[in-house]
Amino acid sequence: MLKAERAAYIEKKLDELYPNPPIPLKHKTHYQLLVAVLLSAQCTDERVNQVTPILFGIAPNPEEMRKLGADEIYQVIRPCGLAPKKSRAIAELSDILIRNFDGKVPDEINVLETLPGVGHKTASVVVAQGFGKPSFPVDTHIFRLSQRWGLTRGKNVAVAERDLKRVFPKARWNDLHLQIIFYGREHCTARGCDGRVCEICQHCYPNRKTPFTAIKA
């Protein structure tokens, strides 16, 4: 099966399973989405969604967050991984947004990446889910599945993102980003599927005899 044929099947199957994929992180504003995505690094969405209602109840915008300060932010977000680093980043980016961006979150990936604690994936998620701009953030689930499904042979997320953007229509990137994540959590998990178990793996590689070995740097 050619890569284009696999991609077409995957797109169709994911649309059947997740026709309207929801944004998993709870938020009411672009700023809250930015903070929530930053917190989700090395932390589950479920844990973030437990913490952010408390945090945003105290400081719903950059002005209030700046007043709160890194130490108080830390006390709220301690259940999230890397809390000391994240609390400093949230305090600093809130100050920068007020001073340089009139308190508004930029809608360009390259500008977002200049903010403390905001890497390429975080910036890509914010522009996709917050502003509806085509983007294809690659997390661990997407990286794992894109290799298992033969959509990339990239050894890092940057190459995987490039290959996924080439094989799927631009208009579908934002939905597919979420659909693949949901499928990776529910059906093609890190330990529950070895490249031969889930429906998509079986369809794309029906003759695969041995477990798929991840391509590593």
The class level of CATH for 3-21+136-204 reads: mainly alpha
pLDDT of residue 217: 77
- For residue range 49-98, list pLDDT tens digits in order: 999 999 999 999 999 999 999 999 999 999 998 999 999 999 999 999 99
- 121: annotated active-site residue: yes
Interatomic CA distance for residues 9 and 3, integer angstroms:
10
The superfamily (CATH) of domain 30-131 is: Hypothetical protein; domain 2 (1.10.340.30)
Provide the angle, in degrees to the nearest 10, between the axes of the packed helices 173-186 and 3-17: 80
Tell me what the mean pLDDT of segment 176-195 comes to. 97
- 170: annotated active-site residue: no
Tell me what the mean pLDDT of segment 37-58 comes to. 97
The residue annotated as part of the active site, out of 15, 95, 139, 194, is 139
The residue annotated as part of the active site, out of 86, 121, 163, 175, is 121
- For residue range 137-154, list pLDDT tens digits in order: 999 999 999 999 999 999
Give exposure, 158-195, as e/b (b: 16+ Cβ within 10 Å): ebbbebbeebbeeebbbbbbbbbbbbbeebbeeeebbb
Q: Where in the chain are the domains?
A: 3-21+136-204, 30-131
